[in-house]
Amino acid sequence: MKLEEAKRDYYRKLAKEEGYRSRAAFKLKQINDKYHLIRTGSSVVDIGCAPGGWLEVLSEIVGERGRVVGVDTVPIKPLGKKNVRFLKEDITSKKFLEKLKEELGKGKADCVLADLSPKLSGIWDMDHFKQIQLCHKVIDLLPELLVEEGSCVMKAFHGGELEGLVHRLRESFERVGISKPEASRKESSEVYLVSRRFKGQVPEQPSVLQKETRESESPEDSDGSGLLDDRLPAV
C-alpha cells in the first residue's frame, strides 16, 4: 500500500472510531490546533459544510455558549446539536446574506470557513477558475458577516488565479498564511488560506487589467506576493 493510500485509510478509520462523518474533520482540527482561530463561545459560519464533518468539530469546540451555522446547497443529515444550525442555500443567491444573518442571530461571526468546490467538469482550468470565483464571492460577503479582527479559513485550488485571491486577502487581513493539513492528500491541489485579524473592509475583486499590471511588475516594484514568501509561510 502506498503512503498516501495508507494515510487516507488511517484518517478514514480514525473518523469512524471518533464518530465523525468524514476524515475531513481532521483537516479542521489540525488547522485550529495550529492557529487557535476558534474557541469556546465563538460564533462560526461554515460555508460548504456537507456532509457535516466540520460542523461536528465546530460544535465540540464552541460549546454551549457558541453558535455554528453551516451552509450548503446539498442537504445534510441533522446533527442533533443545539449549537448548530443549517441553511440550505446557494451563496450566489440574492437572498443568501439575509437568510444567513437570520440564522446567525445578533452580531457577526468570529470566524468564517469556506470549504467550497464547484461541480467539477474535469477541465482543470475551468474548475480552478470557478472555485476561485466562489472564494472571491465569500470575500465580498465578509464585511457583512465577519467581525473586525476576526478570521477566515478558505480552501483554494492551486492555479493561475490563486495569486490574485491571495493578494486580495492580504488587503483584507493583517496576516495571511497557507496551510496543508496532514489530513489532506499530498497529491491534492487544495490548500487552505488562513487569514487573521480582519480589517473590516475588502477591496474589489481585481479586474483583468489590474491583474495584468500586477503580474508585469518588475522585481524592484513587486510587493513580494509569492505564495511562499516570509509573509505567507507554508506550514
Hey, which residues are catalytic here? 155
d(CA 195, CA 201): 14
Which position has the grid cell 476561485? 132
Strand-pairing partners, residue 67, are: 43
Q: Render 111-135 in DSSP notation, one character per residue.
A: EEEE---PPP-S-HHHHHHHHHHHH
d(CA 183, CA 27): 5
Among positive and negative, which fits the CA dihedral 38, 41, 47, 50? positive
Angle, helix 3-18 to helix 25-35, in steps of 10 degrees: 90
Burial of 27 (C-beta count, 10 Å sphere; 0-12/13-18/19+): buried
